[in-house]
Structure 1
Amino acid sequence: MKRTITIKECNSKLRNRLVDKSIEAFLMGLEVFNKPTINYRTEGFSFFICNAWELMLKALLLKRGQSIYYKDQPDRTYDLLKVVYLVYTDKRQPLRINLEKIINLRNTSTHFITEDYEAIFAPVFQSCVVNYVNELLRFHNRDVSNYLNRSSLTLTTNIKELSNEQIKAKYPDEIAQKLIFTKNDIDVTKKIEDSNKFAITVRHELVITKDQNKANFSVKINKDAENDIAIVKELKDPADIFKFSRGL
């Protein structure tokens, strides 16, 4: 006995496939960015995270019973920017602005990139990661923690952001101007939006406390601790203290 598959069932299968592929792209983006041996981190992450959002939001449109195809080109699905505008209709929404900046970087990365974009976009990328995790759960009831440890959601970067003067000294005029414009644009937007949905700056700071309930680990200042440390009260440059070397 043959069973006819309904359009609703076809859409459901397609949605699940889109979400599965979206999660795969998201995980690939994290892996690329957090792998220290890869120099193509910024470009690679922007490609994969945009792909992850596009597939996830297209699955949402199908879930809502909306089309994901252009009317005049029925064999072509919507691009990411159109999908973002259909789902997030408020152009002032920090999450939408975050995606717009990364989409622009993704488009730029196909023909223009410098290694110093990583330091500029790291807070924007981090916010995009958190936004994706939250929206995936909200729209499709899929929890990223089923696929990886949540500690892996923190992006790592070792590149220090350059000042405008350092950028001018490092790059030719055309590249320097583009980089400075992008840097200033991100800085101004962060001040205007002031929202974790646009940018999240990750800082790692160690603070010594005498209250053991507030500590993540103990050190030798506590006589029962195993770890040995020394407290630095004053920073000194060894070159200023030791003026001579064996080579002189």
Structure 2
Amino acid sequence: MAVKKKPVKSSSSPKLLYAKSEAALLGAIEIYNKPNFLYREELFTILIVNAWELFLKSKILKINNNKLNTILAYEHPKKKDGSRSKARVIKRNRSGQPMTIDIFSALKKLTNQLPNNLRDNIEAMVEIRDNAIHFRNENANFAALVQGYCQASVKTM
């Protein structure tokens, strides 16, 4: 009697990305709830933006029947003569892994499914995240600003 093999779950499964999104959200909340934790607002934003990006990609996959190409990033490579090829290839990172679309591309793909205020909220958090990662956030009301985004994100997710 032949033993049936279980199908291999795709690492791009919407459920897997959603679970990772939840984990990032819980990590963000955990960090934010530590009042004496230095850099907590920045860490919160880094994790919450990651949570949103994973959530949006899981939604795109779910809508598109788990078609991985809907979240992969593509590019037109340069030919030997320096011109761009018409063929699209999967964009890869420095370690050779396939890259996926960025959060703005994910938001664009879901334009009709998301309210404008949610998109605005996510875009503002991305700006805070980018400043935290690349240099610093200089705003006298920074903690209060992040708290507002924190509450909105947790309620929405």
Q: TM-score, normalised by structure 2?
A: 0.71
The aligned counterpart of 1:60 is 59
The aligned counterpart of 1:190 is none
Q: Does 1:88 align with 2:111?
A: yes
Letter in 1 for 2:19: D
Letter in 2 for 1:80: I
The aligned counterpart of 1:3 is 5
Task: Spell out, residue by residue over 1:204-243, the C-alpha distance to the aligned partner (whole angstroms, 9 max, x if none).
Answer: xxxxxxxxxxxxxxxxxxxxxxxxxxxxxxxxxxxxxxxx
The aligned counterpart of 2:29 is 30
Task: Spell out, residue by residue over 1:15-73, the C-alpha distance to the aligned partner (whole angstroms, 9 max, x if none).
Answer: 22211111110001001111112021110010010111111111111111251002325
The aligned counterpart of 1:112 is 136
Aligned length: 129
The aligned counterpart of 1:199 is none
Aligned pairs for 1:131-170 within 5 A: 131-132=156-157
Distance 2:105 2:147 in 1: 25
Distance 2:153 2:6 in 1: 41
Distance 2:19 2:114 in 1: 28
Asked if the contact 1:91–1:97 (Cα under 8 Å) also holds between the matched residues in 2, the reply is: no
Distance 1:40 1:119 in 2: 14
Q: TM-score, normalised by structure 1?
A: 0.47
Distance 1:15 1:92 in 2: 21
Distance 1:69 1:57 in 2: 13
The aligned counterpart of 1:20 is 19
Task: Spell out, residue by residue over 1:70-93, the C-alpha distance to the aligned partner (whole angstroms, 9 max, x if none).
Answer: 232522101112112211348971
The aligned counterpart of 1:127 is 152
Q: Does 1:69 align with 2:94?
A: no
Aligned-pair Cα RMSD in Å: 2.5
Q: Secondary structure at the match of 2:74?
A: coil
Asked if the contact 2:14–2:61 (Cα under 8 Å) also holds between the matched residues in 1, the reply is: yes
Asked if the contact 2:45–2:146 (Cα under 8 Å) also holds between the matched residues in 1, the reply is: no
Percent sequence identity is 27
Bigger relative CO (Cα 8 Å, ≥ 6 apart):
2
Q: Does 1:47 align with 2:37?
A: no
Q: Where does structure 2 lack aligned partners over 5 or more consecutive residues?
A: 76-88, 91-97
Distance 1:98 1:34 in 2: 20
Q: Secondary structure at the match of 1:109?
A: helix
Task: Spell out, residue by residue over 1:88-141, the C-alpha distance to the aligned partner (whole angstroms, 9 max, x if none).
Answer: 348971111111111111111111124741123322321122111xxxxxxxxx
Q: Secondary structure at the match of 1:123?
A: helix
